[in-house]
Amino acid sequence: MWALLEISGLREQLSLEAARRAFAEHRLWGFATFTGLFVLANLVHVPGGFFLLAAVLTLGPVWGALSTYVAACIACTVTFVVVRLLGADALRGLDNRLARRLLAQLDRHPLRSVVLLRLVFHSVPALNYALALSGVRLRHYVAGTLLGLPLPIAVVTTLLHTLASGLA
């Protein structure tokens, strides 16, 4: 991605001020573009932390965190659905004692498991793939994602904002 930006000359046009202006002038399209890029990035295993950083630096801590939360929930859900369609519950076929034990725990407490995993790994693409292939129900996945993402996003946003304020 960096090479494409460099070769195309777009990198020279990218700045925080340009991004802030674009979001201010085109709020809906800006958010839709941000969310679409987040979805694509999640599908190809780009960590959501990059999007949180960009949103906090561009929109500030409150709107950056809220925008990232909504976009991350959409990106995680789209990734789950796409991977589930392609791989169904492939992890259930593993003949491994540890895998069976982990899946049994997920089956016993699906919502709690997804929330706890989100608290630790937030929107990490590998988690979305693993949960999609685990056979967990979509409703547990979405509810766990909605409940589990706010705290890590708030913590990381606070850290980013504190670091950015200290560097300014």
pLDDT value for 164:
80
Q: Is the dihedral of CA 39, 42, 46, 50 positive or negative?
A: positive
77-120 pLDDT per residue, tens: 999 999 999 999 999 999 999 999 999 999 999 999 999 999 99
For residues 51 and 72, the answer to whether their CB atoms sit within 8 Å is yes
For residues 129 and 79, the answer to whether their CB atoms sit within 8 Å is yes
Could you tell me what percent of the chain has a pLDDT over 70? 94
121-147 pLDDT per residue, tens: 999 999 999 999 999 999 999 999 999
